[in-house]
Structure 1
Amino acid sequence: CVQHSVIGTMVYEKAKSKPLTKEERRLQVLLNNRDVHLSMYTTCYRSGGKYVGTCKGGVPHGFGKRYFVSGDWYEGDWKLGKAHGCGVYFEAATHTTYDGEWRLGMRDGEGSSCRTFLGNSVEYYGRWEKDKQHGEGTVTWTNGSDRVMKGEWKHGELIKVHEDRSGFNFGSGFVESSRKLDFPSSWTDAQLAELAV
């Protein structure tokens, strides 16, 4: 995913606007000269969140960053008001960061989700579909043991484990499992610590 930088903003609060700064006017001229029909905005939501980035038709479209009242934020590509393309989402309550591909507001494609807890972390890297792990993926724990597990997920459930860092193959290469791994935000710190042992 390619990172972008946002220059200049237009502020909207409760349908009142502030005049553009010199930098914002310069950016608007650049956008107009390139025949780009996007505008730069800082939009404050009644919920207390805000969006800084490009818009089309009054909704986030192009590139921007959305701040939520909870402390969560998303920075990346937008399409008609939804995360779409490449982007990073940070969930403040669980200290979880997802960096990867999005489709229509959901994690979809290649991506990495990392949760930090008690000085340790657990990371899933692999395929996502409709906001759930789906396909090949790897889970890495960093707690001194640096345990690594490769497997296959289907609709968020771990269905096959290929091997761990020791190279030990489970069963005849796979283990069928009904154990659901809602990685990572639904796990408690105690559950994560137990899995890392």
Structure 2
Amino acid sequence: MTCHALALRVPASADPGPALDAAVRGWWPELPDRWPVLWRDQVPARFAEHRLRAELHRPVTEWGPAFRAVLLRYEDGGAHLVLVAHHALLTPGVLQDIAHVLLGHRPATEVTAPLGRDEPPKGPHRPRIDWATGEEGAGDRTGVVTVPVPAGAPAAALVLARYEHRDPGDGLPAYATVLDEVGPVDPAFSHRLPFQSAPFPLAL
């Protein structure tokens, strides 16, 4: 799993720190280790674009604070609030709700921010692929298997299962990601990264 990020253009005088401190204590009162802090930084105007891009692509772990919040203030006026979260902790939709709370667009009590990994996709699947089970006594023999186009998805799942050291028959390897963003793009966000990097850096 990877991280996702978003950025919002805010006035230079904006300070979402107090809203952040109050909100996280309400969302996760028993998990102080998950409470993020607001990082503030003054950025020279000539480095604004570079620094914003760097913060959007700076990953976080799933073991520390629930997300990272950085306020970049530019010398020539204006600022960006950058939020980054791990997919295993917060969905992109929840992170957007959090951003609106920090800017005072919504009260924290109207937003739920559950922590935890999403449930795997539901639906029919074939737990084993007959032509890919292998033959222990085959040795160094090679062969050719004709695979119809519809088998591409199971093949990708098989590769991912092996990549993760999983038995394809034990569960459902994920070979695609469903984004929970539907409808029109929210104009409040100047930048949105569903993934900081390719979710599956593999060549199939």
Whether TM-score is above 0.5 comes out as: no
Q: Indicate the structure (1 or 2) with the bigger Cα radius of gyration.
A: 2
| Higher RCO, Cα 8 Å, sep 6+ | 2
Q: TM-score range by the shorter chain?
A: under 0.3
More helix, by proportion: 2
What is the TM-score normalised by the length of structure 1? 0.20
